[in-house]
Amino acid sequence: MQYFDFKDLKLSALGFGAMRLPVIDGDDNVIDEPTTLKMVDYAYEHGVNYFDTAWGYHGGNSERVIGRALSRYPRESFYLADKFPGYDVTNFGKHEEIFAEQLERCGVDHFDFYLLHNVCELNIEQYLDDEKYGTLSFYAEQVRAGRIGHLGFSTHGNYDTFMRFLEAYGDLMEFCQIQLNYMDGEFQNARAKVEELRRRGLAIMVMEPLRGGILISLDDDDMAPLRALRPNANAIE
């Protein structure tokens, strides 16, 4: 496994995302826990130390299952990321109760990484209105109290929305998670966002590097130029 430096940490270049865990009978809320535990074990044993879950994944059960899976390992041996569900604007003002339940679901007393989830056009006004909702103030306080190690945000918004958030809260953010892969360099202004984040010295986390698996399920015509470049590599490599 390759690692990169983040502050004083060594993070695995590949993280374990818990948005699309195996389920039973096609029910997204019913996770196949034995299979998930095997997946987590395989990742951990091969050097993955960054695990990412969220409030809404699998109807809240992603946090529970990932928490149980990781509880079998020393807490200091992995980094756990969770997120405030700002994609649903009715959650603004509920950050304290949501955060407390997330800690309980995951069975931890702190999160190593915490994200303001999906800053976009639908919720930017709520995120920016800290006087009314107190969202950013609350999470900044959790950092000071040691219940959050590092605070960041994810975004699916356009560049202007992204910049509005950074201009307001860039000094509080340590990293940003964006959608980026070799097909999505321009999607959601990804390249421009990368340039701005680098200019500000913020770390970049990448979601959808394989587009949820789509990029490893290419047909023969699409795979041909890739095989020509690296004949012995598989679609993932």
Cα separation, 80 vs 113, in Å, equals 6
Which pLDDT score, from 0 to 100, does residue 16 have? 94
Quick check: 120 and 85 in contact, CB under 8 A? no
Res 235: pLDDT: 62
**pLDDT reported for residue 185:** 52
Instruction: Give residue-wise pLDDT tens across range 180-203.
Output: 655 555 556 677 888 989 999 999
Instruction: Indicate the DSSP class of residue 163.
Output: H
Tokens 């928490």 locate to: 67
Q: Which H or E run contains 69? A: helix 61-70
Domains detected in the chain: 3-229 (3.20.20.100)
pLDDT of residue 25: 96
Q: Is the alpha carbon torsion for 110, 10, 41, 115 positive or negative? A: positive
pTM greater than the 0.85 cutoff: yes
Q: Three-class SS of residue 90?
A: helix
Q: Among 112, 73, 123, 115, which Cα is nearest to 207's?
A: 115
pLDDT for 115 equals 97
Q: Give 10-residue mean pLDDT values along the chain (237 residues).
A: 93 92 95 98 97 96 98 97 96 97 98 95 96 97 98 91 95 88 58 88 78 60 77 68
Question: What letter would DSSP give residue 103?
Answer: H
Contact 111, 133 (CB under 8 A): no
Give the model's pLDDT for residue 193.
Answer: 85
Cα-Cα-Cα-Cα dihedral sign, residues 70, 53, 187, 155: negative
